[in-house]
Chain A
């Protein structure tokens, strides 16, 4: 029983849940209390002991259902328990009297045939489970490995003996031999199917989640501009998760007690009942600023994709960043707040890119527009995030306005999708803006984006 639990814990870990050993011990204590008899109680108990958040609950449910797949449960426990005392090998035909060590594998072939023909699903399942443990099928991580494990399992069950016999039979070239060969082939196919089903089930438990995690990692490291449509869907989920992580990290209380500095007025008030003897000290508190972010996004063709993700990110942070103003520009600058509030995110972004994009990019003009219409949104609590490649088509970059903006704002963070070696080449005037930025960095992947936003929020700590 313990062994099944250990495997289950491992399955949970590969699925991305962090189950500590302390929790695994609790699980085994809980198991000793409730037993395996009632599936629902077992599920509830293990869930209560090991899944420690709502996401964990969903994950747990999924893994539990695939792992303790009704029929598999009995056979697996049986197989793993019995393999404790008998090393896993093709000892399934204990009732058959054929000698085991057989040079040409006739005995193995007989066992194999007998097993295949028995039609006893339980027996086959037990044999499969044992073979799977013997070849280490729990190590499966990718779907493409399944053919390999199926073959290994069949070999463990003695398929090689059968194949040798099959070859010999085919060589005979008689009608009778062909009939016998047909039976051998059918037996092999049936066993192959059973093995594949078994490997598939193991993959669902041990491999799938690992593949997903791996894919997630790949996507966050890939350049946003090069994402495929399928990656984009995956990305949305990931961005939501990142945003949640950041929100947790930055949702500290807004007041911090400044231990060491006494708030005299409030201390006297609090101790009035104690004859003014200051027993309860009240410390002065410091208020922390709420983050206020103004995002200025270049939505011309090359950068539009990045803007989509930055805004998605900032949007997902709306509990932490309540003050968010977003502007988009290519030729002229416009406030995208109303569009984002009115439409759902996807259609809003499409509208923004159509409305604001399309002109020839002009950073100078964008700054002028910001200056005339929206200068008041930038104050000393504001972090200005500029997302753009700084390619302004040879127009006047209006450094004076940019400098004034940097003066007004708390920080100016420039995120550039282009790698640093291309800064300043051609019509890029990013290097002219650089001296006024508190921070300028290359931001190409979702991981970069997360780091950049984390950095912005940390400045308010």
Chain B
């Protein structure tokens, strides 16, 4: 295993651990927004897709990249927007606030 791969494994495991810790504090109330939020975040595949679509690697790569950029953008744009729309609906008791 090269040092680079080893570092990547480190990063992956630590990120998974942080994720587990952070997400175990999300109340069941917000589990659906959590799913759509992680979905939007996993649209980060956009970063890889952009390179495939924008580098001059030939028509096949450009085509694959273009479809990948489109699919990832649907998740990023749609995911963040719909999560916000859902979260907007969660409100506390009016009487309690008064």
Do A and B truly interact?
Answer: no
Q: Which residues on B are within 8 Å of A, measured CB to CB?
A: none
